[in-house]
């Protein structure tokens, strides 16, 4: 989905707990006749934009990840990585100088090209 400025906003944050709650609430409002479906779509588009901009501007923490790369895939300029037994080290947190260590059994990382990133393709 593209914004007028050419910035692309992806819809995958809709799968988060807050995105799911918003979608459920909008579905109820549509079903009850309180809002039209077109308004719900505009709300979801604004959600995509606002969450993306918030993460771009508000997250300053650096994190390193180590683990076993189980699978990876590139489709339509979207990379998907599945990492088993990841270890995240957050810089500048906790009492130790090396940062806080967080683990999980498995994670999925989805990486998309940002609007100001170079294309990376070479012309022939």
Decide if pLDDT at 1 tops 50.
no
With respect to residue 31, please indicate whether it lies within any of the assigned structural domains.
yes
Residue 122's pLDDT is 43
| CB-CB contact of 8 with 2 (8 Å) | yes
Tens digits of residue pLDDT in 68-120? 999 999 998 889 999 999 999 988 655 455 678 899 999 999 888 766 555 55
* Domain CATH code at residue 23: 1.10.287.190
With respect to residue 46, please indicate whether it lies within any of the assigned structural domains.
yes
Residue 97's pLDDT is 53
Residues 67 and 105 both lie in one domain: yes
- For residue 48, count CB atoms less than 10 angstroms from its CB and return exposed for 0-12, middle for 13-18, buried for 19 or more: buried
* Domain CATH code at residue 95: 2.30.18.10
Report the number of distinct structural domains present in the chain. Answer: 2
Range of the domain at 36: 12-58
Tens digits of residue pLDDT in 3-24? 445 566 778 789 889 999 999 9
Strands 78-90 and 106-112: antiparallel
**Sign, Cα dihedral of 71, 54, 61, 103:** negative
| Token representation of residue 54 | 């918030």
CA pair distance 34, 37, nearest whole angstrom: 10
Residues 38 and 21 both lie in one domain: yes
With respect to residue 2, please indicate whether it lies within any of the assigned structural domains.
no
With respect to residue 90, please indicate whether it lies within any of the assigned structural domains.
yes
Residue 8's pLDDT is 66
Residue 123's pLDDT is 44
With respect to residue 39, please indicate whether it lies within any of the assigned structural domains.
yes
Residues 54 and 92 both lie in one domain: no
Decide if pLDDT at 2 tops 70.
no
Across the range 15-40, mean pLDDT stands at: 96
With respect to residue 7, please indicate whether it lies within any of the assigned structural domains.
no
């Amino acid at each position: 989905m593209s914004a007028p400025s050419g910035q692309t906003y992806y819809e995958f944050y809709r799968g988060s707990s807050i995105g799911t709650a918003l979608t459920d609430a909008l579905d109820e409002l549509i079903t009850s006749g309180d809002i039209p479906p077109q308004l719900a779509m505009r709300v979801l588009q604004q959600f995509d934009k606002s969450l993306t901009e918030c993460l771009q501007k508000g997250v300053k923490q650096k994190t390193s990840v180590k683990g076993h790369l189980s699978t990876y895939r590139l489709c339509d300029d979207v990379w998907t990585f599945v990492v088993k037994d990841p270890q995240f080290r957050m810089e500048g947190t906790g009492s130790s100088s090396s940062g806080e260590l967080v683990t999980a059994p498995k994670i999925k990382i989805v990486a998309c090209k940002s609007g100001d990133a170079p294309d990376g393709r070479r012309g022939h």
